[in-house]
């Protein structure tokens, strides 16, 4: 069993790592949101979107909230499938 000081040091170190990850998530979400917004403007209104094409960031947030679920498809795999064959 570790002592209190060691546990506090672990918490502080991991908290700093979480802060970094949160910044990366915010930047990635902003880039995805901007790209999705441009696609919505450029594609014909009559063209229906397929699953995950415009909501990948929300799916990613859902997966982060449930990290214990093993075997979920990655966001990269969902994006590849969602946009396969689209130009």
Q: What DSSP string runs through 16-79?
A: HHHHHHHHHHHHHHHHHHHHHHHHHHHS-TTSPPPTTTT-HHHHHHHHHH-TT-TTPPPHHHHH
Contact 81, 52 (CB under 8 A): yes
The predicted pLDDT at position 85 comes to 80
The tens digit of pLDDT for each residue in 39-80 reads 888 888 777 777 667 788 888 888 887 766 666 778 888 888
Is the whole-model pTM more than 0.75? no
To the nearest 10 degrees (0 to 180), the angle between helices 56-65 and 4-42 is 160
Contact 37, 55 (CB under 8 A): no
- Tell me what the pLDDT averaged over the chain comes to: 85
Whether residue 14 has pLDDT greater than 80: yes
């Amino acid at each position: 069993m570790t002592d209190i000081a060691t546990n506090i040091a672990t918490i502080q170190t991991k908290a700093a790592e979480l802060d970094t990850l949160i910044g990366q998530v915010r930047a990635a979400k902003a880039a995805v949101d901007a790209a999705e917004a441009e696609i919505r403007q450029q594609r014909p209104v009559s063209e229906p979107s397929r699953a995950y094409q415009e909501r990948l960031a929300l799916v990613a947030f859902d997966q982060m909230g449930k990290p214990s679920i093993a075997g979920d498809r990655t966001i990269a795999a969902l994006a590849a499938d969602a946009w396969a064959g689209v130009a």
